[in-house]
Amino acid sequence: MSLRTVSRAALLALAFNAWPEAARAQLISRPVPPEDVVERGRAAFTVSCGFCHGIDARGGEGGPDLVRSEMMLNDEGGDLLGPFLQVGRPDLGMPPFQLSEAEVAELAGFVRAQSQAVINRRLYVIQNVVTGDAARGRAYFNGEGGCNGCHSPAGDLAGIASRFDPPGLLNRFLYPGRGRGGSQPLSRRATVTPAAGPAVSGTLEYLDDFSVAIRDANGDYRSFSRDAASVEVDDPYAAHVDLLGRYTDDDIHDLITYLVTLE
C-alpha cells in the first residue's frame, strides 16, 4: 500500500496537535525512568550507539533493533546491559564500553522509554486529518450530505473548530458519540404509548427488547414493559448513521477541512 502524504494545511493542524494530557493516560506495561534520566540516556545513545542501532534504537545498518530486543526487554535498570557492554560482541564488530553504573542505567532508561512509547498506544498521535478541500467540503455540507438540513455554520456550528481538535471534530461529525471515540448517543428522546393511558415523552434512559425507561418533563423516572406499550425513539443521529454508509474517504476529509475553518 502507499501512505497518503500529509502536507496540506499542516500548519493549521499543528495548532491542534496539543492533545489533552488526560487523554494520554498511561498504558505502560513497565515503569519508565524520570524524563531527565531518559534524556541523558538519549544524548549518550545518540553519540555512542545511534550510528549502528539507529537514533531511535530500532536498528540500523550495522546493529540490531533494541526496542524489541529480548535482552533489553528483560533488563531492569541496566542489570543485563551493564555486563553485556563490558564485553560487547567483538565477533560481530561491537566493541566493549566501559561506563559507570549510572550511565548504563541512563542508556537502559532511554531504550525502555522507546519500547514503552511503542507499547503505550494512548501516546500515539494522529498526524493530520485536514487533508481535503474546504470548498468541496462546503459543497458537500450544503448538497449531497444534507448537513445544512440540521446544522448551520453561523448557528450551532459557530466556533466549532475552536472547541475540538481536528481528529476529535472528525469523530464528532461522523457520529456524535459520547467523547472521542464514543459510540453512545449523547441523548435521545422517546415517546411511550402504554396500551392503557396517555402517551408520555421524555429523555430516553434505557431501552432493550423488553423494556423502556424515560425521564419525563417533571424529572420523574418512568419505566414500561414493551409488551404493553409502544415506543417511538426520536434519533437525531440517524442521518449521521445513514451517511456512514455513503461517505467516500475524500468526502470526510473535505468536510473536516471545511469544518476547521469555522473558528
Partner 1 sequence: MIRSVSLPALAILIGASALAAQGLDPGRLLGPPTDAWPTYNGDYTGRRYSPLDEIHGGNVGSLTLAWAFRQNTRGPAPGAGTIKATPLYVDGVLYYAAPDHAWAVDARTGREIWHFAWETSGGIHIGNRGVGMLGDTVYFETPDCFLVALDARTGDLRWTQRIADVRQEYFCTPPPMVIGDNLITGVGGDSLDVPGYLQSRDLETGELRWNFNTTPRGDEPGAETWPNAESMEHGGGMTWLPGTYDPELNLYYFGTGNPNPVYAGHSREGDNLYTCTIIAINPDTGEMAWYFQVSPHDTHDWDNVETPVLIDGVFEGEERRMLAQAARNGYFVLLDRVTGEHLLTTPFIETLNWSSGVDEAGRPRPNPDKEPQPDGTLVSPAEPGATNWYAPSFNPDTGLFYVHATESWAIDYVTDTGDNPQGFAGMAQQLYARHLLQAVDYQTGNIVWSHRYSGSGGTRSGLLTTAGGLLFAGDPTRNLIAFEPATGDVLWHVPLHAPVSNGPITYEMDGRQYVVVGAGDMLYAFTLPD
Candidates 81-89, 97-105, 118-126, 142-150: pick the segment binding partner 1 (CB under 8 A).
Answer: 118-126
Smaller CB separation from partner 1, 85 or 252: 252
Applying CB under 8 A, among 44, 134, 161, 252 the residue interacting with partner 1 is: 252
Q: Report, in Å, the least distance between residue 132 CB and partner 1.
A: 8
User: Is 175 within 8 Å of 237 (Cβ atoms)?
Assistant: yes
Distances (CA, A) of 208 to 94, 230, 235: 65, 13, 15
Angle at 128 between CA 122 and CA 132, to 5 degrees: 145
Instruction: Please identify, using beta-carbon distances, which residue of 67 and 160 lies nearer to partner 1.
Output: 67
Interface with partner 1 includes 112 (CB under 8 A)?
no
Only one of the segments 84-92, 104-112, 205-213, 217-225 lies at the binding site for partner 1 (rule: CB under 8 A); that segment is 205-213
Kindly state the helix (H) or strand (E) to which residue 213 belongs, with its residue range. Answer: strand 211-216
- Is the CB of residue 47 less than 8 Å from the CB of residue 40? no
- The CA-based dihedral angle spanning residues 140, 144, 146, 147, taken in that order and rounded to the nearest 10 degrees: -20
Question: Does the footprint of partner 1 cover residue 20 (CB under 8 A)?
Answer: no
Query: Does position 215 bind partner 1 by CB under 8 A?
Result: no
Q: Mention every residue, 6+ apart, whose C-beta is less than 8 A from residue 171.
A: 177, 180, 181
245 binds partner 1 (CB under 8 A): yes
Q: Which three cell numbers stand for residue 26?
A: 498511561
Binding residues for partner 1, rule: CB under 8 A, are 1-6, 29-30, 58-59, 65, 67-68, 70, 73-74, 115, 118-119, 121, 124-131, 167, 170-171, 174-175, 177, 180-185, 206-211, 237, 240-241, 244-245, 247, 249, 252-253
